[in-house]
Structure 1
Amino acid sequence: MTERPQRPEVPLTGGEREILTGLLDYHRATVAWKSGGLTEDQARRAHLPSELTTVAGLVAHLTLNEGFWFGVVVDGEEDTWEEQLEQDPDAEFRVPPGTTVDQLLAAYEQRCARSREIVAKHDLDDQVTYKDETFNVRWVLTHMIEETARHVGHLDVLRELTDGLTGE
């Protein structure tokens, strides 16, 4: 078994913000671990009939979700994907040729850093409205823990099928 990477410790006690952001950062670090060190071919290898669930596609999808939920919904940034996703609901999973895994991971880390900045500016009870739906920041954080953890599970399976890497 490959040595486990260094990932942030999730506090077992402490405030709600520290626990929620700690859980999310732990899962974000796991995304980077499970996605790193692959060749371009390995990162794009489809092990499922849908051909959408690839390591590269999942990193791109998670980057979009970070940007949407924290950037668009919480911080009011422009939704630059809306039109593209209306035309192709799976557009973010389709990584353009020439985009490397390292580029995808760098974009993911940059987006996660921006998300951390956005969350730091808000109280967990702060409410935001997007398209007639109101959310609080706590809900967005909790949703992103769920979203990221679910895809970490996918990455875990894809990575084992790709090169045998296992570990939580």
Structure 2
Amino acid sequence: MDRLAAEQQDEDDPASGTDAEEGLDADGRPEPPLRGDEAATLDGFLAFLRATVLVKTAGLTDEQGARPVLGTLTTVTGLLRHLADVERYWFRAVVGGVPESEVGYRWMDVSENPDRDAEFRLEDGASVEEARTDYREACEGSLAQRAQRDLHEEVRGTGEPRTLRWVLTHMIEETARHVGHLDVLTELIDGRTGE
């Protein structure tokens, strides 16, 4: 059997552990489809990145989650809070058209004169697990909004109209950028590395 045929057989065999349509990787993250259409590919990569956020932050203590190791306000807990409210903004306010006052931001300051770093200003005893749970819940809300719409649909929640495709692509970029930050933070905190 040639290499390509063997790879295709493995991809189609759920027992092989490489079924990209339904499989999970060694860390339990959903694999993006290798031969999916545009929507499945975008959704798959965003799901993988969201799961990576949770994998990267698993097992940290509250002290580790709040530790500023870069000389800035950036911490693991702060990034989790930021990502949770970014999910709320893009999927509730922009995609869902929910008024800003009803979006339910948990960490961001959306007052008239906002503190742009509010989600990164941690109170004493800030819980990394609480931030992880909140991120999971925000992502579930995003999935509910996403399920109701087509990629080509224009969304007009705030600012200029754009397609859902644009929002998904932006969220892949946003989440991937912060996964990179989490890579650096967790390696400096406890030495962990990995994809």
Same fold (TM over 0.5): yes
Whether 2:85 is the aligned partner of 1:64: answer yes
Q: Flag the structure with larger Rg.
A: 2
Q: Cα 1:13–1:72, aligned 2, differ >3 Å: closer, same or farther? A: same
- Relative contact order: is structure 1 or structure 2 higher (C-alpha 8 Å, sep ≥ 6)? 1
Whether 2:53 is the aligned partner of 1:26: answer no
Paired residue secondary structure (1:87): coil
5 Å matches for 1:77-96? Answer: 77-80=98-101, 81=108, 83-84=110-111, 86-96=113-123
Paired residue secondary structure (1:86): coil
Q: How far does residue 129 in structure 1 lie from its aligned partner after superposition?
A: 1.6
How many residues end up aligned between the 2 structures? 164
Q: Which residue of 2 aligns with 1:40?
A: 62
| Cα distance per residue 1:1-54 (max 9 Å; x no partner) | xxx51110110111111110110010011100111101111001111122x110
Q: 2: CA distance between counterparts of 1:17 and 1:156?
A: 27
Paired residue secondary structure (1:49): coil
5 Å matches for 1:84-163? Answer: 84=111, 86-163=113-190
Q: How far does residue 120 in structure 1 lie from its aligned partner after superposition?
A: 0.8
Q: How far does residue 94 in structure 1 lie from its aligned partner after superposition?
A: 2.1
Unaligned runs of 5+ in 1: none
Residue type of the alignment partner of 1:161: L
Q: How far does residue 77 in structure 1 lie from its aligned partner after superposition?
A: 1.9
Is the 8 Å Cα contact of residues 55 and 158 (structure 1) preserved in structure 2? yes
Identity rate of aligned residues, in percent?
48
Q: 2: CA distance between counterparts of 1:96 and 1:74?
A: 31
Alignment partner for residue 74 of structure 2, among 33, 53, 61? 53
Is the 8 Å Cα contact of residues 97 and 156 (structure 2) preserved in structure 1? no
TM-score normalized by the length of structure 2: 0.79
Q: Which residue of 1 aligns with 2:18?
A: none
Q: How far does residue 90 in structure 1 lie from its aligned partner after superposition?
A: 1.2
Is the 8 Å Cα contact of residues 23 and 145 (structure 1) preserved in structure 2? yes
Q: 2: CA distance between counterparts of 1:132 and 1:110?
A: 25
Residue type of the alignment partner of 1:27: L
TM-score normalized by the length of structure 1: 0.91
Range with bigger deviation, 36-45 or 99-108:
99-108
Residue type of the alignment partner of 1:10: P
